[in-house]
Structure 1
Amino acid sequence: MTLGTEIPDPDKAGDLAEFIEALGRLRLWAGGPTYRTLAKRVGPLLPVPQEVALSTVADVFHPQRRRLDLDLVVAIVRALGLPDPTVNQWRQACLRVHRVSKTGGPGGVSRQLPATLPTFTGRVEALKALLTATAPKAAVIAGTAAGTAAGSVGSVGPVASVGSGTPAPTVVITAVEGMAGVGKTQLAVHAANELVKAGHFTDTQLYVNLRGFDPDQPPVDPYEVLGGFLRAIGVPAPQVPAAHDDRAAMFRDRMHDRQALVLLDNAADEDQVRDLIPASPTSAVLITSRRSLVGLDSATVHRLDVFTHDEAMTLLRRIAGRQRIDAEPEAATELLALCGQLPLAVVLTASRLRARPSWTIAQLVERLRGRLLDAANGGGRDLRAVFDLSYQSLAHTPRRLFRLLGLNPGADITAEAAAALAGTTTAEAGEILEALLDEHLIEQRTFGRYEFHDLLRDYARQAAVDQEPAAERDAAIDRLMRYQTHTTATAMQILTGRPNEVTPDGTTPVPPPAMPTAEQARAWLDAERANLLATSELATTGGWHTHGWQLPAIIGTYLHLQLDNAAWVTVNERAVTSAGRLNNRRAMAISTKNHAAALIYSADFTSAQPVLNTALHLMRELGDLDGQAGLHNNMAMIDCLAGRFTVAIDHYQRCLDLCRELGYTTRMSTPLGNIAISLCWLDRAAEALPYAEESLSLVEQSADRKGECYALSAVANSHLGMGNHSTALAYFDKALASSRSVGNRGNEMLCIDGLARTHARQGTFDDAYRFHNEALAMADSIGNSPDLARLLNNLADTKRRQGRREDAHATFKQALEASWSEFERARAEQGIADTAR
């Protein structure tokens, strides 16, 4: 059964992503069969008939796929009802886009626009006005495809050269306003995609849901959005400034001259978006909001009303089936009136009709008549009756999961996390999530991750409050937090090869997803980072204090390796609060120790010192020698940064002695390596080498992936100090590969610098400068790197070795300006003095 739409043309797909999107539209054309249904149809159509898993079919429609199984694609196309000649057309198109993909790379993180929904309908005049207002003035998009006047699906025709031909003097800002559920986001997303397809704003497309009207959470802080946008356009976390104004200034700077489109969805007010608007006239901004944004200077405002009758009827026919709707025209008209022709209400009602083929439209109208739509006020039109209808028609189990999803503190959720929340299996949760997705009760922008529309999040949350006893709600959140804490612990152990400092209490209610490699563990952590930080906050503010201190203790190393020190400080501040609420001295000691480490790596020594003292007092009070060992390691770090290497070695030696006393043989690798590095700074490389080699031997015995990169660096530096240049180069190469494997960006940069220093010592200056430049480029990408002065001092030393005294003098001055470490400042001052003689 088709839905009255044209069969997508696979020959129009320019790449694999567009081919997959066309495949999704073909599924819609065929009536939107579920993945389970498709899997049953596909198996017998394969060259070797076999049973096909639901997930195997679902994966084909994943927009981020790098390749597709040709036989599976052909079987799916056949299962969707296409004749053999058309099937062959799809087969050839699939082969073509795979050939194209071999010469291209994956899209960057700055291509963030959600895909246009296949059900986008109408909005011909609104779309034309939006495109005309937003496109560059020299070449705006105008015109529509033939036939749209009759209420068919709105689309955009060719680019027409209209207007003055003079570029806009400043950034173009276009705002779409209207009531909840009116389709602002769909229109803006569709317009944005059409602009990009027409060749505009091809450098960067940024998207954020600002949650301006989220019932459970405050609007997103533009400070956090700026941080996310900066990271998306290539600025690593450490480079993102701490101050709001500095973030806004950096965002304007990095967006200058970019052909960029920024889509700010669901804005609360003008103040929330002001600093998220680039200044460059090469950029454009699309904003959606339920609130008037008349106070936003220079913005062109478009007020979006509900659908016209024809548009709403087109959407109703598309989803529920033309023949069925045309068989009861009067009932269909009354149904649209009850929906207030609000797009979201029409979608939900039409989906219910499609899911209940035995119902007549008149029967559905009778169910809705006389009930106020109270989910979102607007001109007497509300949505609760429509939400109620979809919700109440669910079976008991999916209904329960739906409302529990409203308790999730994160922005999205996976099947595993949903299973933990509901206390069920991952497989069952996955099936229910897919069913809810088919019912348009949840959304999926990224494969395998599910999220709510704001209104439905409010509805689900309220349903949970009304229908779940408080004890059940608390138990569900506790299960979710246990899953997240335990899975984070698993991922961290796989990533680093080290046991976690803290073992989470209890057990995980759901097994973690498979992540057999460090790369997969890091990918899971990357995807869940925002959710884990949200959970950390809720754990502290909501009273789940065991999770509130344990999760930060486990995730801290990941944040440290990513050089996201600001987040590391924040989660440890919360951990200290939770530990204090529990009156748990051990938790307080560990959390305070970790807080001190985060402050040290953030170069906030003034704040770090009293926290260190508190942590040491707590560890001594508890008789915790393990914790004391870690604190001596942290105190040594401050001494190293001040150039007090002899004092630092004493602290490292104390740490080493405590590890021996405790029988922590493998843990000895860290102080051994640090002693070696400190001796190298004191020009005692021959003494350093045995410490470095013992450190390396220990990590090799324990498969300590995190410790390995440091131990290899210590051996490399020792050989460099002894003049064994070829050996030093070999070990720096190994240390570099090891650092990259665990995502240790700080040590990766220092290994590259080590290669530069080694080449300079052996007189191969071209190679030395190549590595110096690579290290400095990395420091620049990190931003405000505490190692910048060290890198500049080393570069200046290379120039001096080559006899370039004036260049060396200038670089030493740069190092002095960049120094926040007493030791590096002293190095720079000495270099300036030496080159001035």
Structure 2
Amino acid sequence: MRGGTPSTEDFGQRLRVLRARAGLSQEALSDAAGVSVRALADMERGRTRGPQRRTVQALAEALGVDTDEAAGLEESAALGRPRPRTTAGPAAPVTLALPRDIQDFTARDAALARLLDLVRDAGPSRPAVAVVTGQPGLGKTAFAVHAAHRLAPHFPDGQFALDLHGMDAEPATARDALARLLSASGIADAAIPAGTDDRAGLWRSLAGERRLLLLLDNADDESQVAQLLPGTGPSLTIVTSRQALAGLTSVHRCDLTLLRREEAVELLTRIVGPERVRAEAQAARDLADLCGHLPLAVRIAGQRLLSRPHERLGKLVARLAAEGRRLDGLQAGSLRVRAAFALSYRQLPAGSRTFLRRAALAAGPDFSPETGGLLAGLSYDEAVACAEELTDAGLLQSDPAAERYRFHDLLRLYAAEQVEAEDGPAARDAALDRTTRWMLRRATAAALHFDADHDHTAPSGDPDPDGAPTGREEARAWLEAERAQWLAALRRAHDTGRHRQVLDAAEAMHWFSDLNQHWEQWVEVFRRSSDSARALGSRQEEAVHLNYLAWAYNLCVHDPRAALVSADAALMAARDSEDGLQQGWALGYGAGALHRLGRLEEAHTRLREAARCLASQGSPQARLAALSILNALGALLRQLGRAAEALDIHRRGEQICRAGVPGRADELIAFYHAVHRQQIGNDLAALECWPEAEPPLRQALAFFETAQMPSWAEQARLDLGQVLAAMGHPEARETLLAARDALAELRSPRQAEAATALAALGRATTGM
């Protein structure tokens, strides 16, 4: 015996003797050593034969034993610890060795740097865990393998890679994975415990004292991974998964994104060689774009070209340009983009599969859960749950601020294929019709918030009154966010002969359209609505919507020739239906087109005729139309060099605004007043009354900005900037710069005028 302790090598017996001699219960020793009662019991019963060195030291200190007794306790524990197996020949093979690194790995430098920082910052008792997630095809495994090879020198005790088969019908269980890890660590099969918890405990015991790098590839869920993570020690675990694994705590998250265009071209270059890429540089860029900058797709395209050394890049570009053949073209040997998507798709519950494929029918670059739910036949709450599940699965990308989702381009093509394969034409058309009806009703109700002629106390007609936008701000936000959806609904309603729905929606939109003159889509909206009016045989409504179309051609796409054709057609329809108001509008829109074409005298004649026509009408609508005609007439006179006459006309219009128009809201009259204030400022500027011109222009600009009318606001800003420049005002340059940039963004023809004014200001400043 040594120090009165048994000579036996059994650790459990030695521990019981020492505890009894110290007069401590298991509970007391547990408290003193910081070891659980259950763990102590397992040690004394022989279930745990070789606890870790730190545990043995803690027990020795709590028991108060001397140095020799502590050494003996450690010696018996060491004999019970698992030891690697040896072979008679060379070293035993590592059964979970890292896969081969790819030599053409490209980009991801920032993500690799963050992993290296994670390794450097990890403490000896704080194992690091990095979770690599993202949509199919992002190269998660390639990144993890490359990172593991780069970081391997930091982990001299071994690097293990284990595929957890998360995309298989039966993913690996934690129990089986632990057995493979223990076996690779040198534990004999007979020494591997039967239970999952015992295996996990033994694995943690081994990993806790080694510098290991563990790659867990293709994880299914958190429960599968949690049992495999070391609890202590200086190890690093890299987990890859198509799922977000949001339930894993205290981990470093590495969400891979799409490659940038130049990175995608670089990857292609490394695969096929710089000579082929240099020879067809634009084709290489186009190919990267058609692959959606998805690493898997770029790699497949590159491997396909590599296997066909004489094939031009442009040939593959031409093939992939056809959406219906793109997924067919993105395959090379066993590598297939479609197969990568199918793996994730097959894992989804039925409801989420339906949501995913039907969402591919949504118009525009993104969609709301509302739209996805309509297409899939799900409630809003069900749609949100599906969208979140698909986001966690890497199949949808969520907007960082709004409740909206988007596809990767290639994944949308795959989802659309599933619609054809699983739903068929009848179900597809039913989903689109259901969405069309709902969207047009919601769009019509939302747009009526801006209609000055609408009775806002009447029922809105919204398909979901409880969830409908309330007030103009919410209505505007919805109409802007869902622009692609309701426009697609308008198209489908028109193409399927639901002309009354088209007319009602377009009629509701015409006031809202004035707030967004920079939207080119208004041409399509009013072209379809005028066509629907013609199909219904209503000449009066045809005149109305042809006038709206003339407005859109004039102000939204700046096509005065098309505007003149529409205005002339509106004038004929208005005369046929004996509608004096629409005749006045048609004459006014035609005059606007002639003005833009430089046919000023003809424009002047039409405006005078429009004013006479509207003067004979007594309705509030006619008075508002007359204000617009006076505004246009004054602007034309100013251009003809008759600024004093223009000022008189615009002041007459201002007097009408101040007097008010019966039956019209103050807010609407304030808009007309702001328009006339802008024109008065311009008239005064033309008369070189610069100080007098500044206040009305500032007032007009303030109103348009508050009303969120960018097309109007930026033109007023340009007018103000020119007046400030003439006065030598210090705000002139800043004002003109802001106007130029905003007008360019709005695609306004006046952006050239702003650039000219800035250049002139620069010359004046430098004295040139």
Relative to the length of structure 2, the TM-score reads: 0.51
User: Residue 595 of structure 2 corresponds to which residue in structure 1?
Assistant: 640
Q: Percent identity?
A: 17
SS at match of 1:508: coil
**Once the 2 structures are TM-superposed, how far is the Cα of residue 613 of structure 1 from its aligned partner?**
1.5
**Once the 2 structures are TM-superposed, how far is the Cα of residue 463 of structure 1 from its aligned partner?**
5.9
Q: Does residue 728 of the first structure (1) align with residue 745 of the second (2)? A: no
Q: Does residue 756 of the first structure (1) align with residue 721 of the second (2)? A: yes
Q: Are 1:593 and 1:631, in contact at CA under 8 Å, matched by a contact in 2?
A: yes
**Deviation digits for residues 653-676 of structure 1, max 9, x if unmatched?**
246425535664455443343344
Q: Are 1:672 and 1:695, in contact at CA under 8 Å, matched by a contact in 2?
A: no
Seen in structure 2, the aligned counterparts of structure 1 residues 406 and 797 have a Cα distance that, compared at 3 Å, is closer
User: Residue 771 of structure 1 corresponds to which residue in structure 2?
Assistant: 735
**Once the 2 structures are TM-superposed, how far is the Cα of residue 618 of structure 1 from its aligned partner?**
0.8
Q: 2:666 aligns with which of 676, 688, 702?
A: 702
User: Residue 296 of structure 1 corresponds to which residue in structure 2?
Assistant: 313
User: Residue 737 of structure 1 corresponds to which residue in structure 2?
Assistant: 702
**Once the 2 structures are TM-superposed, how far is the Cα of residue 695 of structure 1 from its aligned partner?**
3.3
Q: Are 1:306 and 1:342, in contact at CA under 8 Å, matched by a contact in 2?
A: no
**Deviation digits for residues 229-272 of structure 1, max 9, x if unmatched?**
xxxxxxxxxxxxxxxxxxxxxxxxxxxxx9999999xxxxx9xx
Q: Does residue 683 of the first structure (1) align with residue 699 of the second (2)? A: no
User: Residue 749 of structure 2 corresponds to which residue in structure 1?
Assistant: 786
Q: Specify the code of the residue in structure 1 equivalent to 2:709.
A: N
Seen in structure 2, the aligned counterparts of structure 1 residues 142 and 557 have a Cα distance that, compared at 3 Å, is farther
Q: Does residue 489 of the first structure (1) align with residue 506 of the second (2)? A: no
Q: 1:527 aligns with which of 481, 486, 491?
A: 481
C-alpha distance in 2 between matches for 1:736 and 1:770: 15
C-alpha distance in 2 between matches for 1:473 and 1:195: 32
After superposing the two structures, state which structure 1 stretch, 617-626 or 716-725, moved more: 716-725
Aligned Cα RMSD in Å?
Answer: 5.8
Q: Are 2:630 and 2:650, in contact at CA under 8 Å, matched by a contact in 1?
A: no
SS at match of 2:447: helix
Q: 1:445 aligns with which of 394, 398, 403?
A: 398
> Which structure 2 segments of 5+ residues have no match?
1-130, 164-214, 219-240, 246-251, 269-276, 306-311, 318-328
Greater relative CO, 1 or 2 (CA 8 Å, sep 6+):
1
Q: Specify the code of the residue in structure 1 equivalent to 2:434.
A: A
User: Residue 578 of structure 2 corresponds to which residue in structure 1?
Assistant: 623
Q: 1:431 aligns with which of 381, 387, 396?
A: 381
Q: Specify the code of the residue in structure 2 equivalent to 1:640.
A: H
Q: Are 1:656 and 1:672, in contact at CA under 8 Å, matched by a contact in 2?
A: no
Count of residue pairs the alignment pairs up: 502
Q: Are 1:592 and 1:611, in contact at CA under 8 Å, matched by a contact in 2?
A: yes
Seen in structure 2, the aligned counterparts of structure 1 residues 697 and 597 have a Cα distance that, compared at 3 Å, is same
Relative to the length of structure 1, the TM-score reads: 0.48
SS at match of 2:398: strand
Q: Are 1:536 and 1:548, in contact at CA under 8 Å, matched by a contact in 2?
A: yes
User: Residue 480 of structure 1 corresponds to which residue in structure 2?
Assistant: 438
**Deviation digits for residues 460-500 of structure 1, max 9, x if unmatched?**
57666588698x66862453243343244146x1xxx7447
Q: Specify the code of the residue in structure 1 equivalent to 2:552.
A: A
**Once the 2 structures are TM-superposed, how far is the Cα of residue 621 of structure 1 from its aligned partner?**
0.9
**Once the 2 structures are TM-superposed, how far is the Cα of residue 728 of structure 1 from its aligned partner?**
3.2
C-alpha distance in 2 between matches for 1:710 and 1:779: 18
**Once the 2 structures are TM-superposed, how far is the Cα of residue 590 of structure 1 from its aligned partner?**
3.0
C-alpha distance in 1 between matches for 2:672 and 2:627: 7
**Once the 2 structures are TM-superposed, how far is the Cα of residue 557 of structure 1 from its aligned partner?**
6.1
SS at match of 1:150: strand
Q: 1:568 aligns with which of 497, 503, 522?
A: 522
C-alpha distance in 2 between matches for 1:580 and 1:666: 26
Seen in structure 2, the aligned counterparts of structure 1 residues 485 and 739 have a Cα distance that, compared at 3 Å, is same
Q: Specify the code of the residue in structure 2 equivalent to 1:431.
A: D
Q: Specify the code of the residue in structure 2 equivalent to 1:703.
A: E
**Deviation digits for residues 315-365 of structure 1, max 9, x if unmatched?**
xxxxxxxxxxxxxxxxxxxxxxxxx9966545753x65xxxxxxxxxxxxx
C-alpha distance in 1 between matches for 2:528 and 2:267: 32
Seen in structure 2, the aligned counterparts of structure 1 residues 569 and 504 have a Cα distance that, compared at 3 Å, is farther
User: Residue 142 of structure 2 corresponds to which residue in structure 1?
Assistant: 126
Q: 2:631 aligns with which of 651, 661, 673?
A: 673
**Deviation digits for residues 43-95 of structure 1, max 9, x if unmatched?**
xxxxxxxxxxxxxxxxxxxxxxxxxxxxxxxxxxxxxxxxxxxxxxxxxxxxx
C-alpha distance in 1 between matches for 2:341 and 2:265: 25
Q: Specify the code of the residue in structure 2 equivalent to 1:733.
A: R
User: Residue 823 of structure 1 corresponds to which residue in structure 2?
Assistant: none
C-alpha distance in 2 between matches for 1:501 and 1:261: 58
**Deviation digits for residues 793-832 of structure 1, max 9, x if unmatched?**
76788799x799x96xxxxxxxxxxxxxxxxxxxxxxxxx
Q: Are 2:364 and 2:484, in contact at CA under 8 Å, matched by a contact in 1?
A: yes
User: Residue 569 of structure 2 corresponds to which residue in structure 1?
Assistant: 614
SS at match of 1:660: coil
User: Residue 67 of structure 2 corresponds to which residue in structure 1?
Assistant: none
**Once the 2 structures are TM-superposed, how far is the Cα of residue 501 of structure 1 from its aligned partner?**
13
SS at match of 2:482: helix
Write out aligned runs for 1:145-294 (5 A). 149-151=161-163, 152-153=215-216, 194=256, 277=285, 285-286=293-294, 294=305
SS at match of 1:479: helix
**Deviation digits for residues 212-233 of structure 1, max 9, x if unmatched?**
xxxxxxxxxxxxxxxxxxxxxx
C-alpha distance in 1 between matches for 2:519 and 2:372: 30
User: Residue 677 of structure 2 corresponds to which residue in structure 1?
Assistant: 712
SS at match of 1:509: coil
Larger Rg belongs to? 2
Q: Are 2:162 and 2:216, in contact at CA under 8 Å, matched by a contact in 1?
A: no
> Which structure 1 segments of 5+ residues have no match?
1-114, 133-140, 156-181, 207-257, 265-269, 309-339, 353-386, 392-398, 808-837
C-alpha distance in 1 between matches for 2:513 and 2:150: 47
Q: Are 1:418 and 1:429, in contact at CA under 8 Å, matched by a contact in 2?
A: no
Q: Are 1:776 and 1:791, in contact at CA under 8 Å, matched by a contact in 2?
A: yes
Q: Are 1:680 and 1:718, in contact at CA under 8 Å, matched by a contact in 2?
A: yes
User: Residue 593 of structure 1 corresponds to which residue in structure 2?
Assistant: 547
Q: Are 2:502 and 2:528, in contact at CA under 8 Å, matched by a contact in 1?
A: yes
C-alpha distance in 2 between matches for 1:617 and 1:192: 65
**Deviation digits for residues 735-772 of structure 1, max 9, x if unmatched?**
112222344333223212222333355x3354445434
**Once the 2 structures are TM-superposed, how far is the Cα of residue 715 of structure 1 from its aligned partner?**
3.8
C-alpha distance in 2 between matches for 1:517 and 1:786: 33
Seen in structure 2, the aligned counterparts of structure 1 residues 260 and 509 have a Cα distance that, compared at 3 Å, is same
Q: Are 2:516 and 2:710, in contact at CA under 8 Å, matched by a contact in 1?
A: yes
C-alpha distance in 2 between matches for 1:261 and 1:584: 56
SS at match of 1:149: strand
C-alpha distance in 2 between matches for 1:263 and 1:617: 62
SS at match of 2:677: helix
